[in-house]
Amino acid sequence: MKISRVTAQFPCDCKTVWDIVTDNENFEWRSDLSKIEIIDENRFDEYTRDKFITHFRITAKEPYREYRFDMENQNMRGHWSGIFESCDDGTQITFTEQVQVKNPIMNLFVKGYLKKQQVGYIADLRKAIAKL
């Protein structure tokens, strides 16, 4: 299993960051997605701009503290966790992805791919917060 972790700080309270990250009905701030389809309160599907689908199942959701889900698509399956913490300058988040790829050749590229995705996600989140 490959693991990628990103930590970032934002100049606002945990509730603000939490509300943006966990609101699947308002995903337009995400530059990588074309839509999110909500299945029920614990399951949703994300569609990239290229119509690639990933299925998610929420496994933990403790407001303003912890958000976790399992994820799977045709290339991988794994787990994601988000930890939200108050800090002196606002909020610190730590997002961790653990994935197992279905094609062994992809093991050569998955760590770099995950890091690129995380950097893009954080950049999009910064822009969303700046607009508030």
Q: Domain spans of the chain?
A: 2-22+57-130
Q: How far, rounded to the nearest angstrom, does the alpha carbon of residue 82 sit from its chain's CA centroid? A: 8
pLDDT given for residue 126 in this prediction: 98
How high is the mean pLDDT of the chain? 97
In CATH terms, the fold of domain 2-22+57-130 is Alpha-D-Glucose-1,6-Bisphosphate; Chain A, domain 4 (3.30.530)
Q: What is the mean pLDDT of residues 16-21?
A: 98
**pTM assigned to the model:** 0.95
The pLDDT > 70 percentage for the chain reads 100
pLDDT digits over 62-98, tens only?
999 999 999 999 999 999 999 999 999 999 999 999 9
pLDDT given for residue 26 in this prediction: 97
Cα separation values, 29 from 2, 6, 50, 72, 74, Å: 27, 19, 17, 22, 25
